[in-house]
Amino acid sequence: MFIDSHSHLDDERFNEDRDILIKSLKDNKVDIAINIGADLETSINSVNLANKYDNIYATIGVHPHSASEVTLETLNKFRQMSKNKKVVAIGEIGLDYYYDNSPRDLQRKWFKEQVELAKELNLPVVIHSRDATQETFDIIKEAQDGTLRGVLHCFSGSIEMAIEYIKLGFYISIGGPVTFKNARVVREVAESVPLDKLLIETDSPYLTPEPYRGKRNEPMFVRYVAEKIAEIKKISVEELASHTSRNTKELFEIK
């Protein structure tokens, strides 16, 4: 059984068949899916999904794209929402200098604030980083006081950076791009990251792996991510699934 550590099942692309899809996950060897918040609205949606389905857990947080929408009241609402036992992390949070949908100073401010909120609530963080590799790392390193833990979602950095995050106690999550033909660096990272620090994900409905690239991504497609990484690491898919599922449950404290 696999765990999809990062999905967006509240996305409108699942409106027509969400219930059927979620109920079919176990039949498709997906034990659990972690649904990720990206702003206040999707965080609320995520919690609602987790409340409705036993096999869905929720994260709450504001993606850097929406950093300009965050206020202290947003964080207070997250504090209240975090009391729900199905809420397992703050995320996805971070920096995105590729699209720059929010001013960089606000991205940095609210990234730091949400990291501190995670520490306050004793929750892990789910980190998004695009075209801001060093700055994201510097913020995490500065905040690391021995209590901060989390995962780099859909990691696209270098082996060297992955190792530095692992030294800080973080996990590395790999998604659909590892199956792409030109994904040399991601495959090198997949080969190098120790099994006890590795998570797998789909980022559904985005980043669909081969052989379904171009179509809507779904949590059951996490098997193709697992198969490619197992092939790279020269281990069985069962061993890969066992390690990544255990790691996900450890990080998010899922019993």
CATH of the domain at 141: 3.20.20.140
How many domains, the chain?
1
pTM above 0.95, yes or no: yes
Q: Note whether 250 and 174 are within 8 A (CB).
A: no
**What's the Cα-to-Cα distance from 156 to each of 29, 32, 103, 200, 218, rounded to whole Å?**
26, 24, 22, 13, 20
- What local confidence, expressed as pLDDT, does residue 111 receive? 98
Which one, of 93, 99, 21, lies nearest residue 56 by Cα?
21
When pLDDT is averaged across residues 76-93 and rounded to a whole number, the result is 98
When pLDDT is averaged across residues 241-245 and rounded to a whole number, the result is 98
Name the band, by pLDDT with cuts 50, 70 and 90, for residue 70: very high
Q: Note whether 185 and 165 are within 8 A (CB).
A: no
- What local confidence, expressed as pLDDT, does residue 219 receive? 98
- What local confidence, expressed as pLDDT, does residue 8 receive? 98
What's the token pair of residue 34? 């972690």
- What local confidence, expressed as pLDDT, does residue 17 receive? 98
- What local confidence, expressed as pLDDT, does residue 204 receive? 98
When pLDDT is averaged across residues 201-228 and rounded to a whole number, the result is 98
Residue 244 domain boundaries: 2-252
Name the band, by pLDDT with cuts 50, 70 and 90, for residue 14: very high
- What local confidence, expressed as pLDDT, does residue 38 receive? 98
- What local confidence, expressed as pLDDT, does residue 190 receive? 98
- In 3-state terms, what secondary structure has residue 58? strand
**What's the Cα-to-Cα distance from 1 to each of 25, 57, 166, 210, rounded to whole Å?**
10, 16, 25, 20
Name the band, by pLDDT with cuts 50, 70 and 90, for residue 16: very high
User: How much is the mean pLDDT over the chain?
Assistant: 98
Percent of the chain with pLDDT over 90: 100
When pLDDT is averaged across residues 32-38 and rounded to a whole number, the result is 98
